Amino acid sequence: MARALPDYDELEIRLTPGRGDAYNVEVQSASGARGRGQFEPPGDLDIERFRRTVDPRNRRVRGRSRYLDAATQFGARLFEQLVSSAGVRDVYTTARHDASAAGKGLRLTLSLRAAPQLASIPWEFLYDRPRFLAQHVTSPVVRFVDLEDPPPPLRIEAPLRVLGMVSRPRDAELDALDIDEEQSALERRLRSLIDAGAVTLRWLADATLAALQQEVDHGEDFHVFHYIGHGEYDEESGHSSLILEHGDGRPRRVGGQQLGALLCDRGTLRLAVLNACEAAQTAPQDPLAGIATSLMEYGVPAVVAMQFAITDVGALTFADEFYGALAAGYAVDAAVTQARRALAADSDVEWGTPVLFMSCARRPPVRPQAVHCGDREGGAVVVDRGWGAAAWRASVGRCKAGRRDPARDSARADGRGGKAGRC
């Protein structure tokens, strides 16, 4: 029996500066109940120590390990601090009970724009015993980006158009990536939808800004941008970047302002997936300085990016499961959660690497044959199941038949999946 698509109530969590080193916490549930309290964040040293713990370049043990134990302890302390005030805990507990009684999940949306110093905290590891919230489809964790002028809903007629960019700059200092396999995996996952005319997938010939400019200015509209390649975060400047290519193949570091100005000029982009290291990082003094949040400032309603290094196998697993869930009709937040679950089956902590940013809470309901921002019930970017129904059935049937990729499974079996080649 196919799993029912999740529906959600929303719990809004807003953090603002408080007295001293503390922060104010304000929560509001779908019923309108509100609570207030205080939040004592982890120390900078604790956050940095944990970030090093979950970095795959520092891990040597697979399966249940001290890394999972460290994540559990960190996430439990983070959760307890977040709901330490009785008013906050009561609203959270009641919201979970009400959502469960109604057969729904509870989406947690974190608003950090007024407290950018908290953006470096890996909130995706929030742990409410006995589970990590973000690892379960009933409790996705989303980072809500407050914008003064959020993008309006956009009606999109079939097909859903995906534009891909694959960056292979020539640089001995950059690790080789399993880019061809990831590109092939994405094409395989979307094949039934492409054959049914529900989705188109095209790849830029070059990973240059010039090629992107030509496509945006002279090509067809596109709704999803998928990047495969390297990313990095500069701690001194507080800016993250993607490593694209110059015309001669040399690496070119491109930040959110450059990319957003070109990528979003048509106004049709609804989702960006940045399958690269550290693209979710941002400066503590500017919540929109990161490449992911910069794209949102340019009008992209939802961005999926990585906050740590990610292994090649992890990147493959994420892309495969994420697009498979979208193909089955899941909202983007539920699709990210499904991908986390697949990552958790292979790695102890890598499932916490993806971050979902959204700017489209409380939007009008999903319309038939549309992909746009949803409301409390619809999620962020939704491909409606009535739209291309034959394609969805074909995709779901294929998923039931078996999602795993033999080449990827072979890499897991012989240990080749442990390499963190994205950075």
What does the domain layout of the chain look like in residue ranges? Answer: 8-144, 160-418
Structure confidence at residue 233 as a pLDDT band (50, 70, 90): confident
Highest mean pLDDT: which range of 96-110, 301-315, 385-399? 96-110
Calpha distance 99→235 (Å, rounded):
40
Q: pTM of the entire structure?
A: 0.83
pLDDT of residue 115: 92
Average confidence (pLDDT) over 289-300: 87
The CATH code belonging to domain 160-418 is 3.40.50
Average confidence (pLDDT) over 296-315: 89
Average pLDDT, rounded, for the chain:
81
pLDDT of residue 167: 94
Q: Which of 215, 232, 238 is nearest to 161 (CA)?
A: 215
CB 264 within 8 A of CB 300: yes
pLDDT of residue 401: 42
Average confidence (pLDDT) over 237-262: 91
Answer yes or no: is pLDDT of 138 > 90. Answer: yes
Answer yes or no: is pLDDT of 1 > 70. Answer: no
Average confidence (pLDDT) over 100-113: 94
- Choose the weakest-confidence range: 121-130, 171-180, 195-204, 263-272: 171-180
pLDDT of residue 341: 95
Cis peptide before 368 (omega within 30 of 0): no
Calpha distance 198→190 (Å, rounded):
10
- The number of helices, as runs of H, and strands, as runs of E, in the chain is 11, 16
